[in-house]
A and B are shown apart, each in its own frame.
Chain A
Amino acid sequence: EAGVTQFPSHSVIEKGQTVTLRCDPISGHDNLYWYRRVMGKEIKFLLHFVKESKQDESGMPNNRFLAERTGGTYSTLKVQPAELEDSGVYFCASSQGQGSTDTQYFGPGTRLTVL
């Protein structure tokens, strides 16, 4: 069974440009999460989808970030326009169950560098 995949693995863009990150969850997983690790700090929650619906986007930094999950399969996270402080590693995770007993399985992350 394939794990969570993310594309690209690394993106280098200039300040003001737009970048779109993609996450493909494990097949059959309804829950999809985005997290971010900035500058060696802790990994922080961004948002959570159940199928195509956003359940919790309380961790999204600001309105320059837009996440979608059309059709309840893969998800995209767009940053527009990118700022220097957006640099970091963006992780996607998926889980199968419901509620607090979920185990989230993570992808390899996308390293975003904004110059």
Chain B
Amino acid sequence: AQKVTQAQTEISVVEKEDVTLDCVYETRDTTYYLFWYKQPPSGELVFLIRRNSFDEQNEISGRYSWNFQKSTSSFNFTITASQVVDSAVYFCALSEWTGTASKLTFGTGTRLQVTL
């Protein structure tokens, strides 16, 4: 069975600090996809990134960067120079293709609080 672990329940940082959100996953699939979603106070889940299991290149998008390491089954997310607007719950997810459905297995989320 697939599993995603986000060990950090809640993180508090002061604005402009860098912060890394950890994600560790378990799967027996050789091909899979990893995702990060952001849930701001408004409630919707906002898609941030999708990463193919064959692509271990790190990705940077503005202040966001992702470090995918297959050897340690981790897909960590770093926010550089955090801002108050980054305050949200962040979910890491792993896709499982069952042959008929692409299910997502989510971690329990990490609540990030950025203060002034």
Contacts and interface: CB of A to CB of B under 8 A. Distances in A.
Same complex for A and B? Answer: yes
A103 interface: yes
B68 to A, nearest CB: 16
B25 interface: no
A43 B106 contact: yes
Given A101-B33, A103-B47, A105-B47, A40 B100 contact: no
Contact of A107 (B33, B44, B98, B109): B44
Contacts of B33: 100-101
Contact of B44 (A35, A100, A102, A109): A109
Interface residues of A, number: 32
A43 to B, nearest CB: 4
B95 interface: yes
Contacts of A42: 4, 105-109
A13 B44 CA distance: 22
Contacts of B46: 106
B53 to A, nearest CB: 10
Contact of B103 (A3, A9, A56): A56
A75 interface: no
Contacts of B45: 43, 91, 93, 106, 109
A61 interface: no
A56 B106 contact: no
B104 A104 contact: yes
Contacts of B102: 31, 48, 95, 99-100, 102, 104
Contacts of A33: 101, 103-104
Contacts of B37: 106
A64 interface: no
Nearest to B91: A43
Contacts of B97: 99-100
A36 to B, nearest CB: 11
Interface of B: 4, 31-33, 35, 37, 42-47, 50, 91, 93, 95, 97-98, 100-109
Interface of A: 3, 9, 31, 33, 35, 40-45, 48, 50, 55-56, 59, 89, 91, 93, 95, 99-109, 111
